[in-house]
Amino acid sequence: MSATALPGGIMGKLLRVDLSSGRTWAEPVTPELAHTWIGGTGLGARIMYDEVPPGVEWDDPANRVVIAAGPLGGTAVHGSGTYSAATKGPMTNLIGTTQANGYLGAYLKQCGYDAIVLQGRAPTWQYLWVADGQVELRDASHLLGLDTWETEERLLAELGYKERTLSVHGVGPAGEHLVRFAALAGDKGHVAAHNGVGAVVGAKRLKCIAVARGKQKVPVARPEALAELNEQLFQASAAFRDGSLNRGGTALNLPNLVVVGQLPVKNYQTNVYEAANQMDGAYFRSHFQGRLYPCWACRMKHLHLGCMTVGKDAGYVGEEAEYEGFAAMGPQIANTDQSAAFKLCNIADRIGVDLNETGWLVGWVMECYDKGALTRDDLDGLDLTWGNTEAVERLLYKIARREGCGAWLAEGVMRASQRLGGEAARWAVYAQKGASPRGHDHRGRPTEMLDTCVSNTSTIEATAGADPTDYLDVEPVKNRFDPIDVSTFAARINGRRQFDDCLGVCNFDLRELRLEVQVFNAVTGLDYTVADAVRKGRQIVHLLRAFNFRHGLTTEVEAPSERYGSPQVDGAAAGSHAGAHFGEMKRNYYRLMGWDEETGKPLPQTLRSLDLEWLIPAFA
């Protein structure tokens, strides 16, 4: 395909929204932009780099939030309702990219847009309504204080839409009150969580984005080829890990993480959790009453709405929680009742906070309370003993509204622990850039600890647990505790996940890279190889890194906190101490990425090899 024509899958328009003036307008997506940065994370990263210069802070009206679909979004490709959000976020004060599934990405494409760019700050609270041929900023004063589910239900009724014909993603009370780890949530529990994107949207006084299902067809270059390849990709993805996603969601394998020392328990104080079989996906499905609630065009049978039939919170209605939610509200806070964890996960989504950060924060608070570093008076009378889920529920609402102790806990675990100081500051789990890790004990998964700390996205960038290496010239990790083995794998694989995040498809539907690339080619009309896909992802990695260095990144903060990098004391990985080898891992990773081993800056020859010589001044 000629680089002067738009690839298939691209609608050719950005929706620009200036909240300060109330003006909205369309801008073209040029062929060069679409070919070079594809969509999703790549498109968002390029817009952020071009439009957010150094000195613009996360809550500045000049900051941007880019909500970008991808070229596969809104097509028949399974799970293609995903969007990627890019912004300079409050957790790290660097760029963050985060994805949410559901319907918004598909509906945005069907309304004729590849992305929404939010800028400025509204004088009063607004919401954005997008339908086929219509765009309006509307008063949102009547939506203030509502949680994300309530906001969606109110707008469906107010605007006259049926369920799943209008996708509403916005902020809950946490975003309204600028909680640093506030998230964007919508479509009943789909969350773009990382680096406080909800706080940035809240700072712009935008309550939500409501996009109606449109009538425009997403152009597909090779529709006949797509039909067969799409089915092959789905079958390969559904069969991944013996079909575990269909059988019990992402929490099905929770007990297996105990076996390998990767389940977070009591804020990394132990790896022993005897209730693992009562916190997994199999237990949930066998004690759950509800209905399937799939994302756009998805047959994965992954998500359900309904209630648990056993436990102290039986009857509470919500969306099936993911593994990371059950880990955060189960073992991390020493809770053994899955119905209570299910309820807390849904409350977190409804008030609009990042469940990972919330879990690490609450676990740290409970350890501080247990050891006397925080008292009941410090916590507004809450009895935050291990496993007290009723007290956790009240604490979450305090944090969301910045009430009492919630005001300083709303700063996140790193800043809260630094405020408290003393011995308690040493107990907090976080990456030193400022954001929390995902919901695992990374001391038993050093590849992901390294990835989290050196990532440019505010969360993992290169890895995703047990990454498949088929069709790539990458050796799998042979010894997960060997610092060279671990860091070599992370460097060699980096790029694959960033390519995924450009496409506008749920990661669970992209489990076979060779087929994924063939589907991408069928939609776009391009002729990528798997090597081309990884190279494209590596270009995006370096663009994100250029943004971060321009905004003050230094290598000193690419490291784990003391507790995060501490040795494991018991369980299956007792005696392992990834943190002791972190410097060695990081230097090897930098070297293999083509970066300076001391500063972490990409070398000029690395940037030239990726056709990114224009980024060289960003690292000077």
Select the more confidently predicted residue: 161 or 467. 161
- Listed residues 179, 212, 245: the one ending a domain: 212
Do the domain assignments include residue 287? Answer: yes
- Listed residues 379, 395, 427: the one ending a domain: 427
Pairing of strands 13-18, 115-119: parallel
What element of type H or E holds 235?
Answer: helix 223-238
Tell me: do 468 and 560 sit in the same domain. Answer: yes
Query: Nearest 5°: phi and psi at 246?
Result: -65, -35
pLDDT band at 467 (very low <50, low <70, confident <90, very high): low
| Coil, helix or strand at residue 135 | strand
Do the domain assignments include residue 18? Answer: yes
Tell me: do 251 and 391 sit in the same domain. Answer: yes
Given the structure tokens 């789905």, which residue do they identify? 234
Tell me: do 405 and 361 sit in the same domain. Answer: yes
| Tens of pLDDT, residues 350-363 | 999 999 999 999 99
Pairing of strands 184-186, 190-192: antiparallel
CATH of the domain at 300: 1.10.569.10
In 354-474, which residue ranges form alpha helices assigned H by DSSP? 355-370, 389-401, 406-409, 413-420, 446-454
Say yes or no to pLDDT of 214 above 80. yes
Do the domain assignments include residue 50? Answer: yes
At 418 the pLDDT is 98
| Tens of pLDDT, residues 94-112 | 999 999 999 999 999 999 9
CB–CB of 595/603 below 8 Å? yes
CATH of the domain at 48: 3.60.9.10
- Taking the C-alpha atoms of residue 374 and residue 376, their distance in angstroms, rounded to an integer, is 7
Tell me: do 399 and 519 sit in the same domain. Answer: no
* DSSP single-letter state for residue 119: E
Q: Which residues of 28-58 are buried (b: 16+ CB within 10 A; e: fewer)?
A: ebebebbbbbbbbbbbbbbbbbeebeeeeeb
The arrangement of strands across the sheet holding 83-88 comes to 23-28, 13-18, 115-119, 65-68, 83-88, 95-100
Tell me: do 243 and 158 sit in the same domain. Answer: no
Tell me: do 307 and 341 sit in the same domain. Answer: yes
Give the list of residues 6+ apart from residue 426 with CB closer than 8 angstroms, or none. Answer: 562, 563
Given the structure tokens 């088929």, which residue do they identify? 470
Domain span including residue 167: 13-212
Tell me: do 177 and 324 sit in the same domain. Answer: no
Say yes or no to pLDDT of 474 above 70. yes
Say yes or no to pLDDT of 133 above 90. no
CB–CB of 556/546 below 8 Å? no
Tell me: do 489 and 587 sit in the same domain. Answer: yes
Query: In 10 A of CB 597, how many CB atoms?
Result: 12
pLDDT band at 466 (very low <50, low <70, confident <90, very high): low
Given the structure tokens 């940037």, which residue do they identify? 607
Cα distances (angstroms) measured from residue 79 to each of 7, 237, 281, 295, 495: 21, 11, 21, 6, 21
Tell me: do 204 and 287 sit in the same domain. Answer: no
Residue 469 sits at the vertex; the CA angle it makes with 464 and 471, to the nearest 5 degrees, is 135
CA dihedral over 471, 474, 479, 480, signed as positive or negative: negative
Tell me: do 160 and 95 sit in the same domain. Answer: yes
- Listed residues 158, 190, 212: the one ending a domain: 212
Select the more confidently predicted residue: 524 or 189. 524
Query: Nearest 5°: phi and psi at 304?
Result: -140, 150
The separation between CA 402 and the C-alpha centre of its own chain, rounded to angstroms, equals 23
The separation between CA 523 and the C-alpha centre of its own chain, rounded to angstroms, equals 25
Whole-number average pLDDT of the chain: 96
User: What tokens does 20 get?
Assistant: 């300060």
| Tens of pLDDT, residues 270-316 | 999 999 999 999 999 999 999 999 999 999 988 999 999 999 999 99
Tell me: do 407 and 479 sit in the same domain. Answer: no
Do the domain assignments include residue 557? Answer: yes
Tell me: do 79 and 175 sit in the same domain. Answer: yes
| Tens of pLDDT, residues 534-554 | 999 999 999 999 999 999 999
Instruction: Indicate the residue type of 162.
Output: K
- DSSP string computed for 448-511: HHHHHHH-SSSS-SS--SS---TTSS-PPPS-TT-HHHHHHHHHHHTTHHHHHTTTTS-GGG--
Do the domain assignments include residue 8? Answer: no
Task: Tell me which of 193-197, 227-231, 244-248, 331-335 is least confident.
Answer: 244-248
Do the domain assignments include residue 434? Answer: no
Three-state SS across 513-576? HHHHHHHHHHHHCCCCCHHHHHHHHHHHHHHHHHHHHHCCCCHHHCCECCCCCCCCCCCCCCCC
CB–CB of 70/503 below 8 Å? yes
Cα distances (angstroms) measured from residue 186 to each of 110, 164, 348, 416: 18, 11, 12, 28
Q: Region of 374 please: left (phi>0), alpha (psi -120 to 50) or beta.
A: beta
pLDDT band at 186 (very low <50, low <70, confident <90, very high): very high
Query: In 10 A of CB 263, how many CB atoms?
Result: 28
Angle at which helices 483-493 and 582-593 cross, to 10°: 30
Say yes or no to pLDDT of 61 above 90. yes
Structural domain count of the chain: 3
CB–CB of 451/444 below 8 Å? no
Instruction: Indicate the residue type of 223.
Output: P
Query: In 10 A of CB 331, how many CB atoms?
Result: 31
| Tens of pLDDT, residues 604-615 | 999 999 999 999
- Taking the C-alpha atoms of residue 382 and residue 384, their distance in angstroms, rounded to an integer, is 6
Query: In 10 A of CB 157, how many CB atoms?
Result: 9
Instruction: Indicate the residue type of 407.
Output: A
- Prediction pTM value: 0.98
Q: Region of 22 please: left (phi>0), alpha (psi -120 to 50) or beta.
A: left
Do the domain assignments include residue 380? Answer: yes
What element of type H or E holds 289?
Answer: strand 288-292
Least Cα distance to 473 among 501, 503, 513, 510 occurs for 513
Query: Nearest 5°: phi and psi at 23?
Result: -90, 140
At 472 the pLDDT is 86
pLDDT band at 469 (very low <50, low <70, confident <90, very high): confident
| Coil, helix or strand at residue 70 | coil
User: What tokens does 557 get?
Assistant: 């903060």
- DSSP string computed for 47-59: HHHHH--TT--TT
CATH of the domain at 548: 1.10.599.10
- Taking the C-alpha atoms of residue 482 and residue 462, their distance in angstroms, rounded to an integer, is 18
At 301 the pLDDT is 85
At 464 the pLDDT is 80
At 433 the pLDDT is 98
Do the domain assignments include residue 432? Answer: no
pLDDT band at 266 (very low <50, low <70, confident <90, very high): very high
